Amino acid sequence: MNVFSDREVILKRSTELSMTDLEISQALRIVDQTLEPERLNGVQELVLRECWLGKTYQEIAQGSGYDSDYIRVVGSRLWQSLSSAWEEKVSKNNFKSVLRQKSKRSKFLTASSELPNGQVPLNSNFYIERPPIEALAYEEILRPGALIVIKSPLNRGKTSLMIRILAEARSHNYHTVRLNLQLAEASVLSNLEKFLRWLMANITLQLGIESELDRYWDQDLGIKISCTTYFQKHILEQLKEPLVLALDEVNHLFEYPEIAQEFLPLVRFWHEEANNLAAWQHLRTILAYSTDICLPIDINRSPLNLGLPIVLPEFDFAQVRELANRYQFQQHISEQNLRLLMEMIGGYPYLVRLAFHVLATQDITLEQLLVEAPTPSGIYRSHLKQYLLILRQFPELIKAFCQVAAADAPVQIACIAAHKLDSIGLIKFVGNHVVPSCQLYRLYFRDHLAV
């Protein structure tokens, strides 16, 4: 019988790693930044690492095969260089305390200047491409009447991809309009006419076109025809270049079935009109949504099964390693450490970025981060609470996910429940069976869900 709980196993495995590995990697990074454009050579790095572990110059020499006097000279010159750079006395006896203070003050400015919340900015060094997705999307957006549908659970990168597709379109002199449908107030979503007028008003505003809604709105023709005529005649036909309309958080409309049941087929109609009228070929559409758990219409009447479908995958190990490098951890976080992190959180972009950001800017070890991760005090508490709130709206999903989280092997659950849990990102399929998307979800919800 295994005498360890899941969390105790994680703690036991973590403590087998070097407790000072992260501190040493941070120290090396700070020293490299301090000595730029010079870099630590192999012997200097060896001396700094071994001195951090409390070894004498003699012990370093014996373990490395170098002459002890040579090691002593390398160490002495390193402390002198740091003393000159920082304008304070640095020696073998105090360099650890000095570096810890530098770490706290610097906060690794490159990482801390960009919080890992929401979209990754266009100029960010922390955006990791997932080939061939970006290339396919950039090519598709140039096609007449293009439609790109991005589906991604919470915090998987759909908005970050969307803004890059828009940037690619602008590089070809296309007009772009981006709207987050969560910005539509409840009063706007109270009826179809208000919503469609809100949509057209926002498009003309972003394009700098004078609004003439009342001129085109005709109650006898109906709301959808009035809106379509306005879009075609007043907007598309006066633009010399194509227009990319990007609608983010389309799933927000699913909470308003009366609007969704009319608007989504209308978007599908606009897309299909590109086969009939040149004006509609100038419209390229991007739809992004996080889940279809509450999709209120037949998928065959919506645009969500047309165009180029993009389902964003998690990062693989190479991509997580690349992101670690961009946070300037470089080779100092071991492959074993990265794999241990991925065992807990998978390769989900937001979860990985948050871990690296916290490790780079706060006084916390990887061991502590992993032990606390699936608890209410861990760094993922807000993310986990979001999922908890979603699940509590669907009692049948709580029962199904409890079954998945409690099992130590892939299990088979009802098809509809599996689809919905997969849609929100809590499980993944292994053949016809399912498992939690990552250990973080298994451990947290095992403790916080009750059937």
Model pLDDT, residue 360: 83
Same domain, 165 and 278: yes
Same domain, 296 and 399: no
Q: Is residue 270 part of a domain?
A: yes
Does pLDDT of 22 surpass 70? no
Residue 186: which residues within 8 A CB-CB, separation 6 or more?
A: none
Final residue before a domain boundary, out of 259, 289, 311 = 311
Could you tell me which residues are beta bridge partners of residue 427?
A: 436
Torsional sign, CA 232, 236, 242, 243: negative
**Could you tell me which residue, 10 or 78, shows the higher pLDDT?**
78
**Could you tell me which residue, 45 or 113, shows the higher pLDDT?**
45
Model pLDDT, residue 19: 39
Range scoring the smallest mean pLDDT among 22-31, 294-303, 335-344:
22-31
Containing structural domain, residue 443: 382-448
* Cβ atoms of 211 and 205 closer than 8 Å: yes
**Could you tell me which residue, 33 or 396, shows the higher pLDDT?**
396
Model pLDDT, residue 17: 39
Model pLDDT, residue 109: 45
- As a whole number of angstroms, the distance between CA 152 and CA 340 comes to 25
pLDDT average, residue stretch 155-179:
96
**Could you tell me which residue, 3 or 342, shows the higher pLDDT?**
342
Model pLDDT, residue 15: 39
Final residue before a domain boundary, out of 311, 337, 354 = 311
- As a whole number of angstroms, the distance between CA 200 and CA 245 comes to 11
**Could you tell me which residue, 330 or 52, shows the higher pLDDT?**
52
Model pLDDT, residue 9: 47
**Of 148, 139, 131, nearest in space to 310 by CA:** 148
Does pLDDT of 65 surpass 90? no
Does pLDDT of 249 surpass 70? yes
Same domain, 206 and 279: yes
Q: Using H for helix, E for strand and C for coil, what is the string for the chain?
A: CCCCCHHHHHHHHHHCCCCCHHHHHHHHHHHHHHHCCCCCCHHHHHHHHHHHCCCCHHHHHHHHCCCHHHHHHHHHHHHHHHHHHHCCCCCCCCHHHHHHHHHHHHCCHHHHCCCCCCCCCCCCCCCCCCCCHHHHHHHHCCCCCCEEEEECCCCCCHHHHHHHHHHHHHHCCCEEEEEEHHHCCCCHHHCHHHHHHHHHHHHHHHHCCCCCHHHHCCCCCCHHHHHHHHHHHHHHHHCCCCEEEEEECHHHHHHCHHHHHHHHHHHHHHHHHHHCCHHHHCEEEEEEECCCCCCCCCHHHCCCCCCEEEECCCCCHHHHHHHHHHCCCHHHCCHHHHHHHHHHHCCCHHHHHHHHHHHHHCCCCHHHHHHHCCCCCCCCHHHHHHHHHHHCCCHHHHHHHHHHHHCCCCECCCHHHHHHHHHHCCEEEECCEEEECCHHHHHHHHHHCCC
Model pLDDT, residue 413: 95
Q: Is residue 413 part of a domain?
A: yes
Model pLDDT, residue 1: 38
Does pLDDT of 356 surpass 60? yes
- CA dihedral (15, 17, 18, 22) in degrees, to 10, reads -100
Q: Is residue 327 part of a domain?
A: no
pLDDT average, residue stretch 159-164:
96
Model pLDDT, residue 339: 95
Same domain, 147 and 94: no
pLDDT band at 117 (very low <50, low <70, confident <90, very high): confident
Same domain, 171 and 274: yes
CATH number of domain containing 257: 3.40.50.300
- CA dihedral (115, 373, 407, 346) in degrees, to 10, reads 40
Q: Is residue 191 part of a domain?
A: yes
Q: Is residue 166 part of a domain?
A: yes
Does pLDDT of 107 surpass 50? no
Same domain, 175 and 259: yes
How far is CA 235 from each of CA 204, 205, 282, 286, rounded to the nearest angstrom?
7, 11, 10, 18
**Of 263, 191, 268, 257, nearest in space to 224 by CA:** 263
Q: Is residue 81 part of a domain?
A: yes
Indicate the average pLDDT of the chain.
89
pLDDT band at 388 (very low <50, low <70, confident <90, very high): very high
Model pLDDT, residue 140: 98
Q: Is residue 124 part of a domain?
A: no
Range scoring the smallest mean pLDDT among 235-249, 282-296, 368-382:
282-296
Q: How many domains does the chain have?
A: 3
Does pLDDT of 10 surpass 50? no
pLDDT average, residue stretch 215-231:
96
Same domain, 257 and 401: no
Same domain, 206 and 102: no
pLDDT average, residue stretch 102-130:
73
Does pLDDT of 390 surpass 50? yes
pLDDT band at 188 (very low <50, low <70, confident <90, very high): very high
The predicted-structure confidence for 304-353, as pLDDT tens digits, reads as follows 999 999 999 999 999 999 999 888 886 568 899 999 999 999 999 999 99
**Of 252, 238, 332, 295, nearest in space to 33 by CA:** 332
Same domain, 145 and 81: no
Model pLDDT, residue 3: 36
Same domain, 99 and 139: no
How far is CA 267 from each of CA 150, 262, 274, rounded to the nearest angstrom?
15, 9, 12
Which pTM value belongs to this model? 0.76
* Cβ atoms of 97 and 284 closer than 8 Å: no
Q: Is residue 123 part of a domain?
A: no
- Say how many C-beta atoms besides its own lie within 10 A of residue 36's C-beta: 9
Range scoring the smallest mean pLDDT among 86-90, 144-148, 302-306, 339-343:
86-90
Same domain, 98 and 153: no
pLDDT average, residue stretch 294-301:
80
Final residue before a domain boundary, out of 270, 292, 311 = 311
pLDDT band at 14 (very low <50, low <70, confident <90, very high): very low
Does pLDDT of 401 surpass 70? yes
Range scoring the smallest mean pLDDT among 169-173, 316-320, 385-389:
385-389
pLDDT band at 8 (very low <50, low <70, confident <90, very high): very low
Same domain, 164 and 101: no
CATH number of domain containing 419: 1.10.10
